[in-house]
Structure 1
């Protein structure tokens, strides 16, 4: 059992896919109405700006209520263990209120429920960690917090909790590796291995029908993993990180061990990401490869400047404009799966399964052999990764 209606989540995704068919001219409004009736979605929908406003308002309201109650009750019960149990109790109350609004008001990532979910998990996690002794290592506290956050991700499929779980995992690895004598040197390689492993796992499970409830979480994990990979192999990031964790810091960051290897990784990793992204038509890899190239050039300029910063900015800006103009003109005609057409998933793909595809076709009527509808991600991977360019 999950916080949100799994059937509605599934139907919502189906309607998003079928909506693309309609925009491609394969379905008329009458058939769309039939499909909407067959796959109803009861969630309330609102504008993205409204959701952001509701999120901020809810955070302010929860914070105000928390501090008001905490200040009032602390005068009666003291402050030793009170705050820990108060955090747990207040978090449970916020979580119950979030469940009530989700069930009765049909919220789904509407801002209000996001704020309550994050606040509930944060308060319960903080309260439970506060009950443990104060002499534990940071990674040990993280090991206690991570299962609670992951439980929240499982139940709510919240993206902010996914980011929190990822950050907690990285913090655990970071602090744990520093306990070893050679951990500081091995830390970047451990983070690289973890980022690659998480990305592969996310890609494997992203489009599985049984895991559709967490599909957006897997997509976010892909982006976070690639970001961690670029940071952990970048020469500047590794050198500065080594400088920050030194006990007696010199005036400038000293040279690091295996400097040549990290310079090589700084340049090679974006190239590998571009190659894999181009070959597999993977949007995150292509975008992160471009970001990686930018980081590599910025790193090189930081340690080996040839021109002033203004000259670099002017040259890079002009170069990006010329490349963008060239690609826009060159990709007006689709080439090898890449195009400058509007960013729409192909109408020939249905990213769930054959049974649902048959149900949609039965509801809407046969679309004709020329449409060649397939399922499971088509030729170019998952919808979160992108399939046409």
Structure 2
């Protein structure tokens, strides 16, 4: 399903690990050069600044080219029909396929921009069509379902992070619009259903990341985990539920029924994330929990003004500094898998013995690249082989 060469993807992940080991002082410059020469990958990627530049440039090129074509065809009135953005989306997709296949781009910025514009044209054209056929609220269900189909396909085909996030959001949007049609029961249970779906997304993405077929989608699954944890909290956050309830029922300022349940979720869920993240050494859950503590404080501050904002910020900052200092002092000696010292990524040596590869390269000039190393690596990007094939 994935468009990229799988052997090159394997080698690219190995190169990322070799660079991490080099930065940590485990590999010399010459060893790094030799290893990258052997585990060669033609997939093209760049640093973050280059990616952003190419991304913006590609968006400008797509905008100018589609605008020029639209002006040329303006007299035919084709552009006044919902079929026009659908045609542009299909054409954009074929360009995307050919560009990635011919130039081996993998998260270079160019392919990311083409993926976004393809999805934008297709979803926009479908939304225009549904608005023409049926302008009732029910067409939002069809649009969210179509968005889910497009984003899932592009995620599987190109392992794109943004499309993975869009898949999660479009699924929740579909549940949101469809569940409302159950009437009063649907409106009353909607927050809990969204929380249940978000929890299910997190659970299955956590399980799926261990599956061999998901090896090339580990970054996408990490995005799903982060986003599902956020939506799980937001679905039960008092402020979000209260404001959305008032908006849907057109009752501004009305108290939220059983509001204490959502206050409990608002305050305790971030703390639960932090506690479980520490217990299971899950950095994603730990960091999301720390982020959502700010959301809980903001929600409480919105409804209860205990102290002036300047005093509250000063006290909060002082407390955070004291806690940070205490944690740093405590973790000078690593405890329970946590430390303040900079470490290599924790999942690097789960299944792959890097030392054996280095020793083999030191004493042998032969060997083949592994077709499926079975190791799962974290974030980062690298491109190109770096050396000639004469090693």
Instruction: Confirm whether residue 291 of structure 1 aligns to residue 294 of structure 2.
Output: no
Q: TM-score, normalised by structure 1?
A: 0.85
Q: What are the residue-to-residue correspondences of 1:235-246 with 2, within 5 Å?
A: 235-246=238-249
Q: TM-score, normalised by structure 2?
A: 0.85
Is contact 1:58–1:116 with CA below 8 Å preserved after alignment? yes
**What is the CA–CA distance in structure 1 between the aligned matches of 2:163 and 2:99, rounded to whole Å?**
19
**What is the CA–CA distance in structure 2 between the aligned matches of 1:137 and 1:93, rounded to whole Å?**
25
The 1:71/1:249 distance shift into structure 2, 3 A limit, reads farther
Deviation at 1:114, TM superposition (A): 0.6
State the secondary structure of the residue aligned to 2:317. helix
**Structure 1 unmatched ranges of 5 or more:** 367-373, 385-389
State the secondary structure of the residue aligned to 1:318. helix
CA offsets 1:182-237 (integer angstroms, 9 cap, x no match): 22221110111111111111111224333122111000001100110111121111
Correspondence for 2:274:
274
**What is the CA–CA distance in structure 2 between the aligned matches of 1:59 and 1:261, rounded to whole Å?**
45
Across the two proteins, how many residue pairs are aligned to each other?
Answer: 366
CA offsets 1:40-85 (integer angstroms, 9 cap, x no match): 111223221121121112112212222332233132144553xx33
**Structure 2 unmatched ranges of 5 or more:** 365-372, 380-391
**What is the CA–CA distance in structure 2 between the aligned matches of 1:200 and 1:128, rounded to whole Å?**
31
Larger RCO: 1 or 2 (CA < 8 Å, sep 6+): 2
Instruction: Confirm whether residue 187 of structure 1 aligns to residue 190 of structure 2.
Output: yes
Correspondence for 2:122:
124
Instruction: Confirm whether residue 85 of structure 1 aligns to residue 70 of structure 2.
Output: no
**What is the CA–CA distance in structure 2 between the aligned matches of 1:353 and 1:344, rounded to whole Å?**
14
**What is the CA–CA distance in structure 2 between the aligned matches of 1:352 and 1:7, rounded to whole Å?**
18
Correspondence for 2:144:
142
CA RMSD of aligned residues (A): 2.6
Is contact 2:9–2:216 with CA below 8 Å preserved after alignment? yes
CA offsets 1:222-267 (integer angstroms, 9 cap, x no match): 1100110111121111111111212x333x2x11122111111112
Deviation at 1:99, TM superposition (A): 2.4
Alignment equivalent of 1:151, drawn from 150, 153, 171: 153
**What is the CA–CA distance in structure 2 between the aligned matches of 1:161 and 1:95, rounded to whole Å?**
14
The 1:154/1:138 distance shift into structure 2, 3 A limit, reads same
Is contact 1:199–1:226 with CA below 8 Å preserved after alignment? yes
The 1:272/1:217 distance shift into structure 2, 3 A limit, reads same
Q: What are the residue-to-residue correspondences of 1:255-270 with 2, within 5 Å?
A: 255-270=255-270
